Amino acid sequence: MTDSAAAHGLQQWHGTTIIGVKRGDRTVLAGDGQVSMGNTVMKPNAKKVRRIGEGKVVAGFAGATADAFTLFERLERKLDQYSGQLMRAAVELAKDWRTDKYLRNLEALMIVADKDTMLVLTGNGDVLEPEGGIAAIGSGGNYALAAARALSDYEQDPEKIARRAMQVAAEVCVFTNDQVTLESV
């Protein structure tokens, strides 16, 4: 919980697992649908993975929903500005996110991907290309990441890896459910 949220007695919103798996020319992003506040499930079927950039980019978020929508909108503008070049748009968004007084307070992480690249974006200005073509964020992210890495030696289909990793995360993380949204490029 942020200091300001704690000072105002606000409960922290928990939950989300987003995983990205890239194999060959196909990348899949999957996310669960649970939104929790404290120990209460507020919504079981939120869509945390979506297409942006004229459908050529898939993006998933973990964190505050309004913050994530702000970042989606900003990334879409950057994609328009830089002719759909995801890497350039992501770097420019990360610069803004780190330096802009308003954006700096946004609490979210993102995984974004197009047909060539998958990236993890953070408010610290990080634009990370995951090793091994697998990235995960959110409360169940480490569980999904471990499961996907274990599966990747035996399975080549990124959708099967992502779905099974999400299933494992949902079985272990109380802030993750089995209502999966999946998009691929």
Q: Torsions phi, psi of 50, nearest 5?
A: -150, 165
Q: Torsions phi, psi of 181, nearest 5?
A: -105, 135
Catalytic residue among 16, 27, 176, 181: 16
Positive or negative, the CA dihedral 107, 181, 134, 167 is positive
Residues 6 or more apart whose CB falls under 8 angstroms from that of 61 comprise 16, 18, 31, 48, 68, 71, 72, 108, 109, 110
Is 16 part of the annotated catalytic residue set? yes
Positions annotated as catalytic residues are 16
